[in-house]
Chains A and B, each alone.
Chain A
Amino acid sequence: MKTPLYLDNHATTRMDPRVLDAMLPYFTEHFGNAASRNHEFGWAAEQAVDKARKQIADLIGASPREIVFTSGATESDNLAIKGVAEMYAEKGNHIITAATEHKAVLDTCKKLEKHGYRVTYLPVLADGLVDLDMLREAITDKTILVSIMYANNEIGVIQPVAEIGRLCREKGVLFHTDGVQAIGKVPVNVETDIIDIMSITAHKMYGPKGVGALYVRRRNPRVQLTAQMDGGGHERGMRSGTLNVPGIVGLGEACAICHREMATEMPRLQALRDRLKTKLEAGLDELYLNGSWEHRLPNNLNMSFAYVEGESLLMGISDIAVSSGSACTSATLEPSYVLKALGLGDDIAHSSIRFGIGRFNTEEEIDYVAARLIEVVTKLRELSPLYEMAKEGIDLSKVQWAHD
């Protein structure tokens, strides 16, 4: 076993060597511009892009013509939300999203608010799920778009996407979902999930960074987007810019591998994740699971280790890459807004660790991670005045803390 160990697969994933192999010829050999229609270099590139388009479409139950290539999910989210807002401005100015969305969605919505759009940020239930009744009530005749992520990047909670899609279809509102954490991990199908627009990225599914796509439904209904990048009119006018052919080939191959292997990979990752949870619970008391257990990505575990601050915990397991919802690990010094949206106290958010298990993790690694965590949490609790107080029977929520 080689350290450091990587269990931060919601942040990014190691590229699958098979993906790299597929990409390599497109740097130095087939380097043509996919928009060059009049020579072989261009044709080879275009052919590769067409193949990738099909591989992506096959994974999500779409048609290849519904795939628009972008630089990644942030751009896809921007294009989806701003593109709909601009295109359907005459129909309405209201957008609905949720408090636990990725910043690429939230900040895009905030930007639109400055331009006169109205945005509803739905709260979530304690398990992280959107309340469908609340969503139904939030939809007005001015609503043009609902943007709710498929699965959350911190707590792995999977939203009732098909129900949201059905509700949107019924109300004649477009439905965008940020699918980056779910695609390739769990079955995602734009038909059965009733999705109109979906953001995709390669680097969360063992593909390269810097390439993504947007699924844009072509029929029932036909979705139109105002381009946010002007230029040569690539991607049916929705996203100009010379296509990143090697990246696109990588995204396609990554999708093909996920599609082929999901049936075996999903239960394997889930078994590793469950093993980690069971071991941690056997070795430590006062652990809290953040987010729904039932509606959750098979490779996600997000737990709070009460009375221990997240950054100090990360420091103790410096040979293991995970992330924390602690304020100290963020640039803003604010604890995770996702965990706070679940109604958790800041102290629990400060104590949280997110584990993202991936294709290359092994059982041996999981056992090592569990053992290290138990060791470090035990040590830090001996150091924690809060643990001492709790053991003395003091109710920490009733203590008057000296704030400065």
Chain B
Amino acid sequence: MAYSEKVLDHYNNPRNVGSLDKKSANVGTGMVGAPECGDVMKLQIQVNEENGIIEDAKFKTFGCGSAIASSSLATEWLKGKTVDEALAIRNTDIVNELSLPPVKIHCSVLAEDAIKAAISDYRAKQTTKTAAEQTVA
């Protein structure tokens, strides 16, 4: 199978590889996929609590080159977006950007799921935090 140039670029020079402190209140972590399916993506966002903008994003992926490229691209797109804007990212955007073949569409779906999971984790933490603050008040 031939890979698109963009997939190769992300695979050879993955952007934003690493981990953020998953215990931090302004960090949301999404982990999707399963080892037996051959794909696991961990995607993290760090949100500026003042303005709601994603100021950092990191990923680690176990999976094929297209899965690595999809998650690498996702972290690039997430940075600088608000959480709501991030939710608007669709897997089809990733498919188009990376020219993924049909057999690799599931990689883009996984990346979209990872974004959503990270945001949902962040929001859950924020709700807990707000609730805790109200209790204290």
Query: Which single member of B19, B38, B110 contacts A327 (CB below 8 Å)?
Result: B38
Collect the chain A residues with CB atoms within 8 Å of residue B41's CB: 385
Q: Considering the chains assembled together, what is the distance between the CA atoms of A309 and B35 in angstroms? A: 9
Tally chain A residues at the interface, Cβ within 8 Å.
28
Residues A346 and B11 in contact, CB atoms below 8 Å apart = no
Collect the chain B residues with CB atoms within 8 Å of residue A382's CB: 17
A1 CB to nearest B CB, Å: 22
Collect the chain B residues with CB atoms within 8 Å of residue A347's CB: 35-36, 38
B37 CB to nearest A CB, Å: 7
Q: Considering the chains assembled together, what is the distance between the CA atoms of A382 and B19 in angstroms? A: 11
Q: Mark A383-404, 1 if CB is under 8 A from B, else 0.
A: 1111110000000100001111
The residue in chain B whose Cβ has the minimal distance to the Cβ of A307 is B62
The residue in chain B whose Cβ has the minimal distance to the Cβ of A386 is B62
Q: Considering the chains assembled together, what is the distance between the CA atoms of A312 and B8 in angstroms? A: 11
**Contact of A312 with B63 at beta-carbon distance under 8 Å, contacts A347-B36, A396-B35, A403-B34 already known:** yes
A326 at the interface (CB under 8 A from B): yes
Residues B61 and A345 in contact, CB atoms below 8 Å apart = no
B100 at the interface (CB under 8 A from A): no
B38 CB to nearest A CB, Å: 4
**A-B Cβ contacts below 8 A, count:** 82
Q: Considering the chains assembled together, what is the distance between the CA atoms of A401 and B41 in angstroms? A: 11
Query: Which single member of B19, B35, B68, B117 contacts A402 (CB below 8 Å)?
Result: B117
A382 CB to nearest B CB, Å: 7
B32 at the interface (CB under 8 A from A): yes
Residues B60 and A401 in contact, CB atoms below 8 Å apart = no
A328 at the interface (CB under 8 A from B): yes
Q: Considering the chains assembled together, what is the distance between the CA atoms of A311 and B103 in angstroms? A: 13
The residue in chain B whose Cβ has the minimal distance to the Cβ of A316 is B11
Residues B3 and A346 in contact, CB atoms below 8 Å apart = no
Q: Considering the chains assembled together, what is the distance between the CA atoms of A63 and B117 in angstroms? A: 68
Collect the chain A residues with CB atoms within 8 Å of residue B64's CB: 309, 311-312, 315, 326, 328
Q: Considering the chains assembled together, what is the distance between the CA atoms of A307 and B61 in angstroms? A: 10
The residue in chain A whose Cβ has the minimal distance to the Cβ of B114 is A402
| Chain A contacts with B in 291-333, Cβ cutoff 8 A | 307-309, 311-312, 315-316, 326-328, 333
Q: Considering the chains assembled together, what is the distance between the CA atoms of A312 and B61 in angstroms? A: 10
Looking at A327, A346, A384, A403, which has the most chain B CB atoms within 10 Å of its CB?
A384
Q: How large is the interface on B (under 10, 10 to 19, 20 to 34, 35 or more residues)?
A: 20 to 34
Collect the chain A residues with CB atoms within 8 Å of residue B35's CB: 345-347, 350, 386, 396, 401
Taking chain B's interface residues, is the majority helix, strand, or loop, or is none over half, making it mixed? Answer: mixed
The residue in chain A whose Cβ has the minimal distance to the Cβ of B39 is A309
**Contact of A404 with B38 at beta-carbon distance under 8 Å, contacts A311-B64, A312-B11 already known:** no
B31 at the interface (CB under 8 A from A): yes
Q: Considering the chains assembled together, what is the distance between the CA atoms of A396 and B36 in angstroms? A: 11
The residue in chain B whose Cβ has the minimal distance to the Cβ of A326 is B38
| Chain B contacts with A in 51-93, Cβ cutoff 8 A | 60-65, 67-68
Q: Considering the chains assembled together, what is the distance between the CA atoms of A333 and B103 in angstroms? A: 9
B20 CB to nearest A CB, Å: 12
Collect the chain A residues with CB atoms within 8 Å of residue B68's CB: 312, 383
Q: Mark A346-384, 1 if CB is under 8 A from B, else 0.
A: 110010000000000000000000000000000000111
A207 at the interface (CB under 8 A from B): no
Residues B113 and A404 in contact, CB atoms below 8 Å apart = yes
B40 at the interface (CB under 8 A from A): yes
Collect the chain A residues with CB atoms within 8 Å of residue B33's CB: 401-402
Give B contacts to A, CB under 8 Å.
Answer: 3, 11, 14, 17, 19, 31-42, 60-65, 67-68, 103, 109-110, 113, 117
What are some 24 contacts across the A-B interface (CB < 8 A)?
A308-B62, A309-B38, A309-B39, A309-B62, A309-B63, A311-B64, A312-B67, A315-B65, A316-B11, A327-B38, A333-B103, A346-B37, A346-B38, A383-B17, A383-B61, A384-B60, A384-B61, A386-B40, A388-B19, A388-B42, A388-B60, A402-B117, A403-B34, A404-B113
Query: With contacts A345-B35, A382-B17, A401-B34 known, what are 10 further pairs, Cβ within 8 A?
Result: A312-B11, A328-B38, A346-B35, A346-B37, A350-B35, A383-B60, A402-B31, A402-B32, A402-B113, A402-B117
Give A contacts to B, CB under 8 Å.
Answer: 307-309, 311-312, 315-316, 326-328, 333, 335, 345-347, 350, 382-388, 396, 401-404
| A-B CB proximity, top 4 nearest | A401-B34, A346-B36, A347-B35, A385-B42
